Chain A
Amino acid sequence: MNIDIALYEMIKDSGINLILSLPCILLKGLLEEIDERHEIQNIPITREEEGIGIAAGAYLGGITPALLIQNSGLGNSVNAIKSLLQLYKIPVVFIMSHRGAEGEKIIAQIPMGKLTPSLLDILNIKKFIIDSLDKIKEIKIAVEFSKKSNQSVGILLKRQLWRK
């Protein structure tokens, strides 16, 4: 099965109805899938922290948003995660391509790539690693956990999903 379609279907099936996105070469196919289907609203953002603000507002308005970003954007988001999301107990789903890990060719991605899993831990954000077609169903588990616990979750999409 096409990996982008499988990811899309699981995101939709999880009840996510608003995506705040910044592009990544790994996320290209998934972003195209989202835009072509017109089922989930996709708002391109200019910086990840801005997306957290929009997601928080959308949650207050009663819908289920997710950020679709590169993991490097987690670094741009630390204060908003602490002093907005966690302060008010507003849960947001972070779906991130895990750049700077296995198979990465761009040297500048590597420092944040290495830091990302432990940064999620220190931010007290439960992480879900998606590295095979079989694991994609964990996206739904992550979204359900986020809703039940009022906590944000970090879903890391690994490069090997796309065999790139």
Chain B
Amino acid sequence: MKRYDALKKIVESLNNEFVVCNLGDPSRELYNISDRDSNFYMLGSMGLASSIALGVALARPKQTVWCIDGDGSLLMNLGSLSTIANNSPNNLTLIVIDNSSYGSTGDQKTYTSGKTKLEILAKGAGFESITIIDKEKDIIQSLKNLGTGCHFVLIRTQPGNAHVSNIPLLPEEIKTRFCKAMLDFK
């Protein structure tokens, strides 16, 4: 399984969740699989996906927020694990697709290819719900089983990117339609 395969299964699992997606290939792949107004695609500020998702979750306690993050990005903002786990909004799921590489910059290895285990970092930060998924066929059921709560989900994949085109939306369009989707949410 590569990131693209995992994203397809995540998309199949979506109902009305608001999604904040990590920059680069993850966002481009998500856009190409299924674009929705309620997807917030990051274009810069590497590392901040989980923080942005936490902000949305805090501001909108009645809506469910999924963050799609990556191993390289999460390693840039490890403090976020502590902030999320300690505040623990019950409407936030942090999904980390761990392909042990910086996919958007040429598949250079990250430290999760070595000794670092993100699920242990998440546990140490205080997450109480931790799910590890290694098989593509388990993604949909595992995500369905989560329910309300503050969850950490690690999907371990092989490195490699689908070769998809850039997102043709302007940053302000991404913002405006995401905000509108939130206001229109019933």
Complex CA–CA separation, A62 to B58 (angstroms): 10
Give a binary string over B44-59; 1 marks a CB under 8 Å from any A CB, 0 the rest: 1101111111111111
Stretch at the interface among A7-15, A26-34, A79-87, A134-142: A79-87
Complex alpha-carbon distance, A18 and B61, angstroms: 14
Q: How far is the CB of B93 from chain A (nearest CB, A)?
A: 14
In the complex, which of the residues A50, A52, A61, A83 contacts B58, with contact meaning CB atoms closer than 8 Å? A61
Contact B40 A79 (CB under 8 A): no
Tally chain B residues at the interface, Cβ within 8 Å: 34
> Once the chains bind, are B47 and A63 in contact (CB under 8 Å)?
no
Name the residue of chain A whose CB is nearest to the CB of B77.
A50
B58 touches A41 (CB 8 A): yes
* Contact A88 B55, CB 8 Å, known A49-B47, A62-B182: no
* Residues on A facing B (Cβ under 8 Å): 18, 41, 43-47, 49-63, 65, 79-80, 82-84, 87-90
Q: Provide 11 A-B residue pairs closer than 8 Å at the C-beta atoms, listed in order of the A residue.
A: A43-B58, A45-B79, A47-B79, A53-B55, A56-B55, A60-B52, A60-B179, A62-B59, A79-B45, A83-B44, A83-B45
Question: Given A53-B49, A61-B182, 16 other A-B contacts at CB below 8 A?
Answer: A43-B58, A43-B83, A46-B79, A47-B77, A50-B77, A53-B50, A56-B51, A57-B20, A60-B175, A61-B55, A61-B60, A80-B48, A84-B42, A84-B44, A87-B43, A87-B171
**B residues touching A (Cβ–Cβ < 8 Å)?**
20, 40, 42-45, 47-60, 77, 79-80, 82-83, 87, 171-172, 174-175, 178-179, 182-183
